[in-house]
Structure 1
Amino acid sequence: MIVVGRFSFPHEAHIAKASLDSAGIESCIADEHTVNAQWLYSNAIGGVRLMVAEKDADEAYKILNTDFSQSLENEIAAEEGRDVCPHCGSTDLSPHTKGKRPAFLVFILIGFPLFFYKHGYKCKQCGQFNEKL
Structure 2
Amino acid sequence: MSKFVVVSKYSFPLDAHIAKASLESEGIPAYIADEHTVNMQWLYSDAIGGVRLYVAETFETEAKAILALNFSADVDSAFEATPEHCPQCNSTHLANYTKGKKPAFVLFILLGFPLFFYQHGRKCMDCGWFKESE
Identify the TM-score tier after normalising by the shorter chain: 0.5 to 0.7
Instruction: Confirm or deny that 1:28 pairs with 2:28.
Output: no
| Residue of structure 1 aligned with 2:18, choices 15, 18, 38 | 15
CA distance in 2, matches of 1:49, 1:24: 19
Q: Deviations over 1:36-84 (max 9, x none)?
A: 111100000000000000000101000000111233345456xxxxxxx
> Identity of aligned pairs, percent?
58
* 2:6 alignment counterpart: 3
Unaligned runs of 5+ in 1: 78-133
Structure 1 equivalent of residue 50 of structure 2:
47
Larger Rg: 1
User: Which TM-score applies when normalising by structure 2?
Assistant: 0.54
Could you tell me how far apart the structure 1 residues matched to 2:75 and 2:24 are?
Answer: 20
Distance 1:38 1:45 in 2: 11
Structure 2: runs of 5+ lacking an equivalent: 81-134
Give 1:63's aligned residue. 66
Secondary structure of 2:53's counterpart equals strand
TM-score (norm. length: structure 1): 0.54
**Aligned residue pairs, count:** 77
Q: Which amino acid in 2 is paired with 1:32?
A: E
